[in-house]
Amino acid sequence: MGYSRNKFKEYIEKWDQLIDKTVDLFLRLNTNQAEIVATVLFTEKELANNGNVSERDVLHKVMKWKQKRRPPISEIEVAETIRNLGILEWFSIKPSPDLLDDEF
């Protein structure tokens, strides 16, 4: 372990704050929540490569991707995750004012 840590010390130090932030986030989650967070983060990054992206865009893409998941993923839980990750500054996307409306 010591050898690996020393070998990659400069890389670890470079990413230290992000590593700490990621560990802090995932320690607070159960397995289902971690899956949703990981999917939302991946989806946002994928969509952001194509330009301006909104919370609603991320929601639709996640729900489409997970449509065959059993048990089904909760759309409101995904919407809340998107909103919360934005608040925690995991990404910066265009807000969708109707994201958490009672339409779910």
Q: Peptide bond preceding 71: is omega within 30 degrees of 0, i.e. cis?
A: yes
Q: State phi, psi for 64 to the nearest 5 degrees.
A: -65, -45
Q: Distance between CA atoms of 54 and 97, rounded to whole angstroms?
A: 10
Residue spans of the chain under pLDDT 50? 104
CA distance linking residue 46 with residue 31, whole number of Å: 22
Neighbours of 48 (CB within 10 A): 15
Domain boundaries, the chain: 2-87
Per-residue pLDDT tens digits for 27-51: 999 999 999 999 999 999 999 988 8
Calpha distance 67→64 (Å, rounded): 5
So what's the pLDDT on residue 104?
46
